[in-house]
Amino acid sequence: MPAKPGKAYRSYAVSMPLNRGKAMRLRVMLRPWRLGLRRTLLLLEGGLIRGERLPRYVDAKQWEGFSQRQWDSITRQARAMMGSWIELRVIDFRSIVSHSTLDDGMKRELWRINLRHAWWEPVDDEAHRMARRIMKHLRKRHRFPNPMRCRTLSMDGKIAEIQPSAMGGTFPYWARISTLDKGRPIHAPLDIHSDLNPHLDPRDLETLANHLQIRFDEDGGMTVRLMTTQDKAEPRVQGDVVGLDWGLSSLFATSEGRLYGLRLFAWLQQRDEELLALTRDLARSNVGYRDSKRFRRLNKRIRDHVTNEVNRVLNLIADDRVMELVVEDLDFRHGGLSKRLNRIVTRAGRNAVRAKLERLHALKGITITRVNPAYTSQECLRCGWTSPGNRPDQKHFRCECCGYTCNADIVAATNIKARRSRPEDWRWIGRHTILSRLRKEHAQRCPDRSHCPSRRPEYGSPTSAKTKAKTDARVKKTTTS
Ligand SMILES: [Zn+2]
């Protein structure tokens, strides 16, 4: 989609009933389309590695096999694939730097390089060498997008024109789609569902964009989506600031003391058992996961459910009173699930939260602020004492120093909200620096110095190497940060 500034986009599933001949003529486009994506992506990768920025558009003049208009759609789709790959690596990079033992000066340099996506900038200093090393490591785990596995043709209006039906009839809209045969487009009827219907009214704020997405599903079917566009909302200037924590026992906790999505975890545990039984079956019969329809269906069911829950809950939280949401900068992780399910949930949850927050910003004008969540689940709201000992278990918070008790997720959400008022360097300083600052603050406001746990030998001074190692070991034991 040609993303214009000031515009927000959204996609809706529609039905496109086609006879076999037409469906075939679309399907044969997939392979050359993939090769076109690959050609573009190789060009973009080369540029990135040489330290260039991702270009606004790719010049595909003289490229053959497709019409120039088709190349426009292909290169734009490839650029979007690379764009989202980069966005995810920015988050991974930040997470690695933030969890590392690098000194704060180096962290600040890396933080700045990451902000500009300048990992491969041809500068030969220590920070850039480190940045390249981190990216090399990340690229081993997350290869550049693979176009040969892409199943989607993303076509703009120049090659897939969406028009209202001229003669009325059964189908309200038709798409005129260019194919590989020059001058022989396909006319495809579109059946619009109830969620998109209200936006077809030209007076509606959200209007139909001339854009069509066709996805060829693994099981031979086809999923078709239409896009809408609408003006972004003005930022809200008054209202509440709400901190959010996403976690294990509740999907979201807010700094206002509310818990949402409490049934998700139990639901996931049930799916985990199904997943385990299924993978055991598949292993016994020697079937690869990707070839199993049941596995794909269960996988999709889990992803869809997580996405729906994230959207439902964030809609409830982000009501008319909210001006700003404060969220943690790092990952979305669910402990207590199998490794395989954890991966599915993490990926789906992270994508859903990111997309939903973006939409809340674009369509409702809610400011999204990201903060470093280090120790937000261990910091006492009343006296500031910060220690893994404040967390007797996943669910509860009980301060070792002042005895304050509360739901652990709500404590985290409240601390996340408070982090927005910290100086900017709190976003990139290391965990140890944060801990030592929190300990110093606590020393000033501790209600009872003589009984303060900071006097216990095992806590000592938070900056001493011995304590650091000990604290690290204890932090590792608790699954949340
Ligand atoms: Zn306390």
284 Cα: distance to centroid of ligand 1 (angstroms):
53
**Residues 300 and 419 reside in one and the same domain:** no
pLDDT at 460: 58
Backbone φ and ψ of 8, nearest 5°: -115, 145
262 lies in the same domain as 358: yes
Which domain-ending residue is among 149, 168, 195? Answer: 149
- Pair of tokens at residue 35: 């090769």
pLDDT in tens, the chain (481 residues): 556 778 888 889 999 999 999 999 999 999 999 999 999 999 999 999 999 989 988 999 889 999 999 999 999 999 999 999 998 899 889 888 887 888 889 999 999 999 999 999 999 999 999 999 999 999 998 999 999 999 999 999 999 999 888 777 788 889 999 999 988 999 999 998 888 888 888 788 888 888 999 999 888 889 999 999 989 999 999 999 999 998 767 889 999 999 999 898 899 999 999 999 999 999 999 888 878 889 989 999 999 999 999 999 999 999 989 999 999 876 555 556 788 888 888 778 888 888 899 999 999 999 999 998 889 999 999 999 999 999 998 889 999 999 999 999 999 999 999 999 999 888 878 788 899 999 999 999 887 777 788 888 777 554 444 444 544 454 444 434 3
Cα 480 to averaged position of ligand 1 atoms, centre (Å)? 19
Q: Is residue 78 part of a domain?
A: yes
Query: To the nearest 5 percent, what fractions of the chain are helix, strand and coil?
Result: 45, 15, 35
Q: Give distance in angstroms: CA of 443 to centre of ligand 1.
A: 11
By DSSP bridging, strand 240-246 and strand 207-216 are unpaired
303 Cα–ligand 1 center, Å:
39
Structure tokens at 43: 């060009």
Look at the chain and report how many structural domains it folds into: 3
Distance 27 CA to ligand 1 centre (A): 63
- Could you tell me if residue 24 is inside a domain? no
The whole-angstrom separation of Cα 372 and Cα 425 is 10
Judge whether 411 lies within some domain. Answer: yes
Taking the centre of ligand 1 as the mean of its atom positions, its distance from the CA of residue 398, in whole angstroms, is 8
* CA 178 – ligand 1 centroid, Å: 67
Q: Got the DSSP string for 345-356?
A: HHHHHHHHHHHH
The Å distance, Cα 144 to ligand 1 centre, comes to 47
For residue 83, tell me if it sits in a domain.
yes
* Residue range of the domain that includes 79: 32-149
Q: Residue 475: its pLDDT value, please?
A: 45
CA of 247 to the centre of ligand 1 (A): 22
In a domain? residue 262: yes
Cα 283 to ligand 1 centroid, rounded to whole Å: 51
Do 136 and 91 share a domain, yes or no? yes
C-alpha 300 – ligand 1 centre gap (Å): 44
Helix (H) or strand (E) holding 281: helix 264-284
What are 101's two structure tokens? 């033992």
Asked if the structure places residue 421 within a domain, the reply is yes
**253/331 same-domain check:** yes
Closest Cα partner for 359 from 4, 7, 81?
7
Bridge partner residues of 10 (DSSP): 228
Distance 394 CA to ligand 1 centre (A): 18
Distance CA 188, CA 185 (A): 9
What is the Å distance from ligand 1's center to 381 Cα?
7
CB half-sphere exposure, 10, CA atoms < 13 A? 20
Same domain? For 299 and 345 the reply is: yes
**Residue 180, token pair as written in the block:** 């590989």
Last residue in a domain, options 149, 170, 193: 149
Looking at the DSSP bridge assignments, the partners of residue 406 are 397
| Residue-level pLDDT at 199 | 85
The answer on 395 and 304 residing in a single domain is no
367 and 428 share a domain? Answer: no
Ligand 1 centre and the CA of 375: distance in Å?
14
401 Cα–ligand 1 center, Å: 5
Asked whether residue 392 falls in the same domain as residue 362, the answer is no
Q: How far is the CA of 379 from the centre of ligand 1 (A)?
A: 8
Residue 38 sits in the same domain as residue 65 = yes
> Residue 402 C-alpha to ligand 1 middle, in angstroms?
4
pLDDT for the residue 2: 52
Q: Is residue 225 situated within a structural domain?
A: no
Q: What is the pLDDT of residue 265?
A: 87
How far apart are the CA of 397 and the centre of ligand 1, in A?
Answer: 10
Exposure string for 45-78, b = 16+ CB within 10 A, e = fewer: eebbeeeeeeeeebebeebeebeeebbbbbbbbb
Residue 425 CA to ligand 1 center (angstroms) comes to 25
Same domain, 361 and 395: no
Domain limit, last residue, from 95, 115, 149: 149
Is the same domain home to 144 and 65? yes
Give the count of beta carbons closer than 10 Å to the beta carbon of residue 211: 21
Buried residues in 214-238 as b, exposed as e (16+ CB within 10 A): bbbeeeeebebbbbbbbeeeeeeee
Indicate whether 92 belongs to any domain: yes
Give me ligand 1 centre to Cα 405, in Å. Answer: 8
How far is the centre of ligand 1, averaged over its atoms, from the C-alpha of 101 (Å)?
28
Give the distance (Å) from ligand 1 centre to CA of residue 52.
50
404 Cα: distance to centroid of ligand 1 (angstroms)? 5
Q: How far is the CA of 414 from the centre of ligand 1 (A)?
A: 14
- If you measure from the C-alpha of residue 272 to the centroid of ligand 1, how many angstroms do you get, rounded to a whole number? 37
Is 434 found in the same domain as 392? Answer: yes
At 222, give phi and psi (nearest 5°): -140, 130
What is the Å distance from ligand 1's center to 330 Cα? 26
